[in-house]
Amino acid sequence: MSYLARTVDAELDALGDAPAVSIEGARGVGKTETAQRRARTVHRLDDPGQLEVLRGEPRRVVEGNPPVLIDEWQRLPVSWDLVRRAVDDDPLPGRFLLTGSATPSEAPTHTGAGRIIALHMRPLSIAERQIAHPSVSLAELLAAGPAALGGNTRIGVEQYAEEIVLSGFPGMRRHPDRVRRGLLDGYIDQILSHDVHQFGHTFRDHGSLRRWMTAYGAAVSTAASFEKIRDAASAGEADKPARSTTIPYRSALEGLRMIEEVPAWLPTRNRLRRLGTASVHQLADPALAARLLGVDVDTLLGGSGTWSGDGTLLGALFESLVTLSVRVYAQACEARVHHLRTQGGEHEVDLIVERADGAVVALEVKLSAVIGDDDVRHLRWLADQIGPQLLDAVVISTGSDAYRRPDGIGVIPAALLGP
């Protein structure tokens, strides 16, 4: 299978003068393949033979012709400190690449600050899947604000549903449906029954951890409370577990990068008040939620499936897919992604992409090909509240054309937005 160019490739190019870069992300997102294309020496710590040798002589992990790739470094946590010391001794650009898919239980003695730059790699964004040619750049929206929008696509709601279940894991997408479903099931089983123990988490009841992850899958694109997620994970149990009992479940899933929540936007330089602080729940890839909930394309398009929010499960997973993609594009721009919701829920905006100077692009995600006035009311409200701090306001849709409405709000099909 040919290599799919990744947005993170350009980020790695920009970091070429850094002595060490750590590529972090969930298992299976393509970290190793991307890093190997740049490395001259590779230490595969997921190879039991190599790992055994390096446990005996850890210093070997920093030896070899640079760039030296230390793949799955968390399996030998001391490797992080060895890289840090090697960089202190010789900060030559491009010496080390590290990849990791989990937070090790044995933390390094030093964070690596000032020596090792961390770069998050996520599953394939919509643009990286090459199902359409993006005509609108998030970087340009962040740089210049409102501009003419154009481009069209034949991708519609059926194709977005297919992309949700196909997943953004490069190694799974090429397989027939039955095989891919089996691979996703195996992926989830590997995470829940093996990886959690390998990286220091101990659970006697694997079923509880699976139910907890499934409850998060049923809460994607919502800010569901701890109590609501707990109740979903413990349905049928008379005695609900205490928060102290369930915190390790969430910690384990976060440490394995299965959960990546969207934090609330809390601006400090404008007159917005009474904003909510709860994060919006997202799994690493919407395909994981779909598989945990047992839904396929037909189920999604039929409007059924278990979901804890308003609207449809397909709408929630479409928002999850767009969120994944926007995060990939925003990271390349060194921008941060948040959501906005007032405490009473009167106003909410799905995604707030914030530059370092506090200026933002606001994105509403709608599972609709036709965008009406009601779909943009929260964006209009936000424009009234923050004025010039709002660079642009856009609805991400399932339609065919990118254009700008008479009120200035942009409409961009998800397939036409890129980095």
**Which two structure tokens, joined as six digits, stand for 37?**
């294309």
Over residues 271-299, the pLDDT tens digits come to 787 899 999 999 999 999 999 999 999 99
pLDDT tens digit sequence for 379-417: 999 999 999 999 999 999 999 999 999 999 999 999 999
Tell me if 172 is assigned to some domain.
Answer: yes
250 vs 262, residue with greater confidence: 262
Taking phi first (over 0 means left), then psi (-120 to 50 degrees means alpha), and beta for anything else, what does residue 64 get? left
Residues 187 and 92 in one domain: no
At residue 2, the pLDDT reads 80
Local confidence band at 145 (pLDDT 50, 70, 90 cut-offs): confident
Residues 116 and 186 placed together within one structural domain of the fold: no
Q: Which domain holds residue 59?
A: 7-120
Residue 40 pLDDT greater than 80, yes or no:
yes
- How many domains is the chain partitioned into structurally? 2
Residue 1 resides in a domain? no
Rg (CA), the chain: 22
Claim to verify: residue 47 and residue 158 sit in the same structural domain: no
Q: Are residues 213 and 131 in the same domain?
A: yes
**Do residues 255 and 399 both lie within one domain?**
yes
Tell me the whole-structure pTM to 2 decimals: 0.94
Given this model, what pLDDT does residue 182 score? Answer: 97
CATH number of residue 104's parent domain: 3.40.50.300
Judgement on whether residues 232 and 363 belong to the same structural domain of the protein: yes
What pLDDT shows up at residue 58? Answer: 96
Give the residue-averaged pLDDT of 197-225: 82
CA pair distance 350, 336, nearest whole angstrom? 14
Mean pLDDT in residue range 196-207: 65
What pLDDT, in 10s, does the model give residues 172-200?
999 999 999 999 999 999 998 887 776 55
Task: Please report whether residue 240 resides in a domain.
Answer: yes
Same domain, 212 and 96: no
Average pLDDT, the chain: 92
Q: Is the pLDDT of residue 231 over 80?
A: yes
Q: How far apart are CA 383 and CA 362, in angstroms?
A: 9
Phi, psi of 151 (to 5 degrees): 110, 155
Does one domain contain both 248 and 390?
A: yes
Q: Quickly state the pLDDT bin for 108 (edges 50, 70, 90).
A: low
Burial of 33 per CB tally in 10 Å (0-12, 13-18, 19+) = middle
Confidence class of residue 368 from pLDDT cuts 50, 70 and 90? very high
The stretch 122-135 carries a mean pLDDT of 98
- Which residues, at least 6 apart from 326, have a Cβ–Cβ distance to it below 8 Å? 138, 337, 351, 353, 363, 417
Q: Check: CB of residue 281 under 8 Å from CB of residue 222.
A: yes
Assigned domain for 2 exists: no
* Confidence class for position 201, pLDDT limits 50, 70, 90: low
